[in-house]
A and B are shown apart, each in its own frame.
Chain A
């Protein structure tokens, strides 16, 4: 459809907002093609926000599960985060990783057993005393619209206690948003699209999830 000038004028003067275009599923064919260098959404080193060989590189990994507890082999995940100092990156170059520029954004597809892996750094708090988190968005075949959530770092328990989102959830639900730190320094964060351990998914102002009031 075309947004006509009247609609545009009304939106720009604050009279009537434009209604967002609906989302649709990513479908099954976003991510693999034999014999081509660079096709579809995944790209070389898309999941490496930093080189995994860097001493401060953190492995962020987990598995995406469906409502039967089975891993989903065709999901795509993106993360977006502050750097280690809590600064919001605004450097271009995510799609052509030079190994040095931290852009804060990464894209990973899950493997045949539903597992994703990013190489990144621990985000710093964006403000003094704030609980650091990595924003995660999930797409999958069978999932008709995107799902947003947050991956909180487990360490700063005082900040987690004070966090507005976490403190609005009961303990069971809250735990789905906090990553587990393993002995090797990596972060483990599973995503459950449905079921008893269903991850808390977030609805931000401006987008509707019908029938999910």
Chain B
């Protein structure tokens, strides 16, 4: 089979930019200028734009019509219930899934899940997934030539405590290249999947590490046009979460959009 008859199912790092119609050879400077223009015209936004052309994959994947305002009804005022039946305690430690220790910097990420009124989100499912210490995901479509780690899958789950707290032990992920534009690199991040008390609060986001030099260059992070809002995705280094001769520590609180339920007296108690 010649090069130009390449089977599209056989994706490799060298041809995947062809298979991904959104991948471009644009320069970082081009992307930066586009991001700057959008930021200059925006102010005070709290969520990412779904229409953010510097993130090329978003071009044909965002709604163009107005979001339709709706009042949540019945089922939407509740969330599915998860508990210890669903998740084993050990699933929050991503460093013990293999036969041996994974490579990289062992970290603990700890924080609370709250709603807009400061109520802790209790007994809810938190899922994370991430690249390893070399910037590689365990995934058939990640062909970045960095080593896989046989002792690290990069996947964890936990159930929040009564005070909305969660904690994961993992390895600090590395940045990795992607095909949005020429020489594009994602800042190191951990993906978080979250449930609230209402299904309308369901969200997926990414946690970043403080001081990452790639922040200003990344169209996914910069799709949030306001610096204060972007800062909400960045964990804080916390020496109280670090432990002696074992791990460094990060702290990250997550706030879900407000619950629309009618809460009873006592439900708002701080624990």
Taking Cβ atoms with an 8 Å cutoff, the residues of A that contact B are: 1-3, 7-9, 11-12, 14, 17-34, 36, 38-41, 66-68, 70, 72, 78, 80-82, 88-96, 103-105, 123, 126-127, 130, 133, 135, 137, 139-148, 164-165, 168-169, 173, 193-195, 198-213
Q: Is B260 at the interface (CB under 8 A from chain A)?
A: yes
Q: Can you sample 18 A-B contacts with CB below 8 Å?
A: A11-B118, A17-B258, A19-B255, A24-B205, A24-B223, A41-B193, A80-B79, A92-B82, A135-B76, A143-B50, A146-B202, A146-B203, A201-B68, A203-B67, A203-B68, A204-B76, A205-B257, A206-B116
Within the complex, the shortest CB–CB distance from A60 to chain B, in Å, comes to: 15
Q: A67-B61, A144-B48 are in contact. Are A204 and B70 (CB under 8 A)?
A: yes
Which single residue of chain B is at the shortest CB-CB distance from A19? Answer: B46
B66 at the interface (CB under 8 A from A): yes
Across the interface, name the chain B residue whose C-beta is closest to A3. Answer: B253
- Docked pose: A205 CA to B73 CA in angstroms: 12
State the CA gap A144–B138 with chains docked (Å): 22
- Cα A209 to Cα B63 in complex, Å, equals 11
Residue of B nearest to A141 (CB): B57
- Known contacts A3-B112, A207-B47; A95 and B141 CB within 8 A of each other: no
The listed residue with most B CB atoms (<10 A of its CB), out of A130, A133, A135, is A135
The chain A residue sitting closest to B74, CB to CB, is: A126
Q: A23-B47, A141-B57 are in contact. List 6 more A-B contacts (CB 8 A).
A: A25-B220, A38-B155, A40-B155, A88-B78, A194-B60, A202-B69
Number of chain B interface residues as a range: 35 or more
Is B45 an interface residue when CB atoms closer than 8 A count as contact?
Answer: yes
Contact of A126 among B75, B142, B154 (CB under 8 A): B75
In the complex, residue of chain A having the shortest beta-carbon distance to the beta carbon of B87: A95
- Chain B residues with CB under 8 Å of chain A are 22, 42, 45-52, 55, 57-76, 78-87, 111-112, 114-119, 125, 127, 129, 131, 137-142, 153-155, 157, 191, 193, 199-206, 220-221, 223-225, 229-236, 238, 251-258, 260, 268, 270
- Minimal Cβ-Cβ distance residue in A for B199: A80
Closest to A18 in B: B255
- Assess the A20–B46 pair: CB atoms within 8 A: yes
Grouping DSSP codes into helix (H, G, I), strand (E, B) and loop, the A interface class, with mixed when no group exceeds half, is: loop
Which B residues are CB-close (under 8 A) to A208? 45-47
- Return the chain A residue nearest B202 by Cβ: A137
User: Which of B60, B67, B203, B224 has a CB less than 8 Å from the CB of A209?
Assistant: B67
**Chain A residues, CB < 8 A from B202:** 78, 137, 146, 148
**Least Cβ–Cβ distance between B187 and chain A, in angstroms:** 11
Q: Which residue of A lies closest to B119 (CB)?
A: A12
By beta carbon, the residue of chain A nearest B269 is A12
On whether the beta carbons of A32 and B140 are closer than 8 Å, the reply is yes
Taken together as a complex, chains A and B put the C-alpha atoms of A101 and B120 apart, in Å, by 27
